[in-house]
Amino acid sequence: MTRISRLIKIVYILSKYRLDVYFDFNLLPRPLRWLFLLAPWRIFPTSDQPRAVRLRLALEELGPVFIKFGQMLSTRRDLLPDDIADELQRLQDQVPPFSGEKATQIIEKALGQSVEALFSEFDAKPLASASVAQVHSAVMHNGDQVVVKVIRPGIHRTIRNDLDLLFSLAQVMEKYSEDGRRLRPIQVVSDYERTIFNELDLLIEAGNTSQLRRNFQDSNLIYLPQVYWDYSRKNVLVMERIHGIPVADIAALRAQNTDMKKLAERGVEIFFTQVFRDSFFHADMHPGNIFVSTEIPAEPQYIAIDCGIVGSLTHADKNYLARILLAFFKRDYRQIATLHIESGWVPEDTPVAEFETSIRSVCEPIFEKPLKDISFGQILLRLFQTARQFNMEIQPQLVLLQKTLLNIEGLGRQIYPELDLWHTAKPFMEDWMKQRSGPPGLLKAMREQGPEWLEQTSEVPHLILDAVQQIKRFKDFNEQQRQTLKLLTNEIIRGRKNQQRTWLGITSIALALFAATNNSPLFQQVPTASWIAGLIGLYLLVGRG
């Protein structure tokens, strides 16, 4: 499909669902305004369905790229109205598969061998099909059961064309719609572009999976499948096939007597471990990517797949985030405001008292609820929405964090409705803060950064030598500076002396006049004293310089 025909289709679908109501055409130049008002799509009646439903239906009809864009957009609750965000969460990425024959050709071209040489068994019928890839089951020659993920043919070109059109729509929306400017559509599309092209590189997903697997290698909390690196390329990924119960299948989990309370609490522990211990977290933990092992129901273990999207936080971000959450539950709103400014998330000239008042007005109603009903995700959302009123810049790492926390939290309460997230998370965060600021944290820093410090100490003699050379190079300049400084010092001393002579002269003349006019006993005994004082005063005044 050419770009022109694709554009025509997009315009048709947007018109069909009357999404033109999102634009204020009065902002357009007069000729364009009449063009839009008389456009063919005006023949479509305005639907009685809510705007959010119309938007979702339009994105579904536009296809995979727009569906994934809607899914990503649903996470931006800091920008979207609640009705649209809620509706976009319902988007289902159900895409017809491409042929097994084509998948086989892609695999053989990428790996340079036939599927018979690569696998003892290969099922050409896909296990699952998504917007950018589909998955086939296979068996290695050593008997290992694996899945083979294959990028859709031609998807790069489709995505590139659709992204170009999305950027064009975003520019129009930002230029001619007041709501559009508030939503920052160009920046949103840019974020989406970066995310979706990362998902198209399966080696990135493989690397993320391996890192998460290594982080939890000795843990019974979560399991990540093994990557077969020798059989993986940018468009083909071979991984261990996992077996488990989908985490959203509550009936099946209960049927095997899974400890639901422990399962929910372990989900929270996994999230905070990834964020605060590892600074590397799976940022796409929706129910379709999470399973539960069937091996030990009393000690349930999660299984995670599809690690194409991950997030990370700097040490500073982790520290600020933990302190903000702890301050929130202490209702220390001044501390929350100060931390936002110190972190650089809001401008440093933000009025702290005004910011504190806004945070208090938003957060205080939350404490009317039982502690177990307070949502961490909603806390972050409210804080970020409030901060945006004070020109908080978009922090991509915090958006991913908020999205992931909302997913984990919703999943946890679906598994175990009585989950007390704060009771589960508070000890972890408090312990982490102690570990970070106490002797263990210092020892860890020395262990991790010690080699770098030692390496830098070997450079010290060279730095000193360089400093000496710089001093020599500027010796003449420094000598000139010293001479200038000496002259300035002499002038200052001279000025001070003149100032002292002036005040002494004025004082002497004043004393002489006072004595002469008030018949002072001292000056009556020594008549010439008043004349002498006056003459000294005149000398001091006239003789300055």
Band (pLDDT 50/70/90 cuts) for residue 477 is very low
Q: Is the dihedral of CA 474, 475, 480, 483 positive or negative?
A: positive
CA proximity to 340, closest of 329, 330, 328: 328
DSSP per-residue string spanning 41-96: GGGSPPPSS-HHHHHHHHHHHH-HHHHHHHHHHHT-TTTS-HHHHHHHTT-----P
Q: Tens digits of per-residue pLDDT, 236-262? A: 999 999 999 998 888 999 999 999 999
Q: Which residues contact 145 (CB under 8 A, 6 or more apart)?
A: 137, 138, 139, 240, 241
Which domains does the chain show, CATH number per domain?
3-95+156-197 (no CATH), 100-152+201-310 (1.10.510.10), 313-453 (no CATH), 475-542 (no CATH)
pTM: 0.67
* Strand intervals (E) in 344-498: none
Band (pLDDT 50/70/90 cuts) for residue 33 is low
> Is the predicted pLDDT of residue 439 greater than 60, yes or no?
no
Three-state secondary structure readout of 406-448:
HHHHHHHHHHCCCCCHHHHHHHHHHHHHHHHHCHHHHHHHHHH
pLDDT of amino acid 510: 62
Helices and strands: H and E segment counts in the chain: 24, 11
Q: What is the mean pLDDT of the chain?
A: 76
pLDDT of amino acid 490: 59
pLDDT of amino acid 523: 47
Higher pLDDT, 179 or 301: 301
pLDDT of amino acid 214: 95
Query: Distance (Å, rounded) from C-alpha 9 to C-alpha 187?
Result: 24
**DSSP type of residue 228:** -
Confirm if 285 and 247 have CB atoms less than 8 A apart. Answer: no
Query: Distance (Å, rounded) from C-alpha 405 to C-alpha 314?
Result: 17
pLDDT of amino acid 253: 93
Rg (CA), the chain: 36
122: Cα separation from own chain's centroid: 41
**Using CB atoms within 10 A of its CB, is residue 426 exposed (0-12), middle (13-18) or buried (19+)?**
middle
pLDDT of amino acid 522: 47
284 is catalytic: yes
> Is the predicted pLDDT of residue 27 greater than 80, yes or no?
no
Q: Tens digits of per-residue pLDDT, 361-412? A: 877 877 666 556 667 666 777 777 777 777 776 666 677 777 777 777 777 7
> Is the predicted pLDDT of residue 176 greater than 60, yes or no?
yes
Query: Distance (Å, rounded) from C-alpha 210 to C-alpha 178?
Result: 45
Both ends of the chain: CA-CA distance in Å? 93
Q: Which helix (H) or strand (E) holds 499?
A: helix 475-518
> Is the predicted pLDDT of residue 200 greater than 80, yes or no?
yes
> Is the predicted pLDDT of residue 113 greater than 70, yes or no?
yes
Q: What are phi and psi of 416, to 5 degrees?
A: -140, 95
Average pLDDT in the 263-285 region? 87
Task: Out of 284, 373, 420, 466, pick the active-site residue.
Answer: 284
Higher pLDDT, 538 or 384: 384
With a pLDDT cut of 70, the percent of the chain lying above it is 66
> Is the predicted pLDDT of residue 426 greater than 70, yes or no?
yes
Using alpha carbons only, give the angle 250, 255, 256 rounded to the nearest 5 degrees. Answer: 105
Query: Distance (Å, rounded) from C-alpha 122 to C-alpha 381?
Result: 45
Q: Would you tell me how many other CB atoms lie within 10 Å of the CB of residue 22?
A: 15
Q: Tens digits of per-residue pLDDT, 14-25? A: 777 877 666 555
- Dihedral of CA atoms 495, 496, 502, 508 in degrees, nearest 10, equals -160
- 291: which strand partners? 246, 303
